Chain A
Amino acid sequence: MSVVLDIAGLNKSFGGIKATDDLNLSVEAGELHAVIGPNGAGKTTLISQLCGTQTPDSGRIRFKGRDITGMKPYARAHLGITRSFQITSLILEMSVIDNIALAVQARDGHSFRFIRAARKIAPLRREAMALLQRVGLADKAELPTGALSHGEHRHMEIAIALGAQADLMLLDEPMAGLGIEESAEMVTLLRDLKGKHSILLIEHDMDAVFALADRISVLVYGHIIATGTPDEIRSNDAVQHAYLGEE
């Protein structure tokens, strides 16, 4: 299997806090690689550095063999990296379908197109609608995004990540704040994505992580203390001690 994402020696500090500490990690093509770790371990900071909204202090990030460490966030998106946000990050003023259509539109390369009305462009609308169908929100397409529930927002996040048709999806706690039933729906959705995309999944929900992941990395204080299959992680003493044992 080929390596899609390769992170070597990544460091990032905020003042005195080391949010990322000599971090090494790789994601292989088609793999679902989960990162778990306690609150404040530096999981979101890792994702922000991968998609470029935060700059590492040192280290190197390679995507499909290409060094992207200093690349602008929008340029990384064009290469095929997309993320979802832990704290829902949608355009609340726009309708649900407009949010998704923007993700589809983003693939066109550029949007310096001024004449035709975006809402009248059939392929854009059709694909956005198909994505909404896939996450079960087709009937809410025309509602203002602000009117949807938290769980529905989480599904929109996934639809947007799908719309980007990215090779690498960085998913930051897609189940954050979901109820039991909604979480189960999300697991089904993620299982459906598995194998079709390379995924770096951050998640607190251990049942979901152990059910879905090919490999799991455990992040504590910015440093990865163990990487392995779910079985290996479950029986790893250091992990038991530092993290799982607490539960």
Chain B
Amino acid sequence: MISLTRRSWLTLAVMALLAVLPPVFYLTGNPYYLDLATRLAILAIAAVSLNLILGYGGLVSFGHAAFVGLGAYAVGIPAHHWLYGGLDFLATTSGLVQIPLAVAVCALFALVTGAICLRTKGVYFIMITMAFAQMIYYLIVSIEEYGGDDGLVIDTRSELPVVNLDNPLHLFGLSYVALVVAMLLVRMIVRSRFGMVLQGAKGNPERMVTLGFNVYAYRLTAYVISGAMSGFAGALLGNFTTFISPEMMDWSRSGELMFMVILGGAATTLGPVLGAIVFIVAEEALSSFTIYWHLPFGLMLMAVVLFARGGLMGMLRGRGEDRE
């Protein structure tokens, strides 16, 4: 007999609402909410992927927005050359090229930077992940051809079979399905033997090493998976905004992703999605009042860290459900 925990019910309910409500709004003449939900789903993919290393791996990466930005540029740069010429081998509007490119570039960037970052610990790890992200930020700023810090307009969205990304419903559908797949993927990984090692290394790396696990290699693998998934989210984000700029990779963007994971509940399946929902709603509600809308955000996060360890998911925990 299948008995679901309170958490599982909540996950199913939230994901069902997220699937149904936005299209209903759209079809009843409120297209704005569909856009909001699309952005939510895309940011949630990035948060879910960050959760793999931050929540389950205990690796506080403060540079995750770099992967999102790189993924977006992997769509924007080929589209730019397709329209304006140059670099013929790159020029394309095909999503079947752009999206794998986004994933591959981010995986490679994660492999190279992760190999270095993961040799450090604690605050140093936080600083160096942030430093690599800023490095990419300034690299893009310095390239005139792609608009420097003015950014780049994506004139043509990725062309894909079956779905038409110019249709908001299609773009939402793809983002939503991608989010569900990302959640299931991370869930599968953290429950696997690999995931147990990753979580063990979060709790006690010295023990894991003396058991015979090369903790560094496991963490690096998780870092690459996480970076690649965020690159995918970036490719979607580029298609959603059709305007990309280095600002997407700013450290404050990385901070927002961390906010979503920690506020929603690190090391839970639904947590990052809940965090993304709170983030989007708060941004909407607060940014119309004040440009300093990040301040109440910071206060909210502090309250959660101080009073509700485990984030929103932690508050909803039922007896005997404290582990995934």
Contacts and interface: CB of A to CB of B under 8 A. Distances in A.
A73 B322 contact: no
Given A112-B221, A144-B322, A103 B193 contact: no
Given A114-B194, A118-B196, A144-B323, A82 B189 contact: no
Interface string B184-195: 000011011111
A89 B200 CA distance: 11
A77 interface: yes
Contacts of B202: 93
A53 B209 CA distance: 9
A75 B211 CA distance: 9
Instruction: Name the interface size band of chain B.
Output: 20 to 34
Interface in A88-126: 89-95, 98, 101-103, 105-108, 111-119, 121
Contacts of B204: 89-92
Contacts of A114: 188-189, 192, 194-195
B203 A91 contact: yes
A164 interface: yes
Contacts, number: 96
A108 B322 CA distance: 29
Contact of B193 (A77, A83, A118, A160): A118
Interface of B: 188-189, 191-197, 199-200, 202-204, 206-215, 218, 221, 322-323
A68 to B, nearest CB: 13
B121 to A, nearest CB: 14
A118 B212 contact: no
Nearest to B212: A77
A102 B195 contact: no
Given A91-B203, A114-B188, A144-B322, A164 B211 contact: yes
Given A91-B204, A113-B192, 20 more contacts: A53-B206, A89-B206, A92-B203, A92-B204, A94-B203, A94-B323, A103-B211, A106-B212, A106-B213, A107-B212, A108-B193, A111-B193, A111-B213, A112-B194, A113-B193, A113-B194, A114-B188, A118-B191, A119-B191, A160-B211
B311 to A, nearest CB: 15
Contacts of A107: 212
Given A77-B210, A77-B212, A102 B192 contact: no
Contacts of B210: 51, 53, 73-74, 77, 82-83
A118 B200 contact: no
11 contacts: A73-B209, A90-B204, A102-B200, A105-B196, A105-B197, A106-B212, A106-B213, A111-B194, A113-B192, A114-B189, A118-B195
A144 B194 CA distance: 20
B266 to A, nearest CB: 12
A95 B199 CA distance: 12
B201 to A, nearest CB: 9
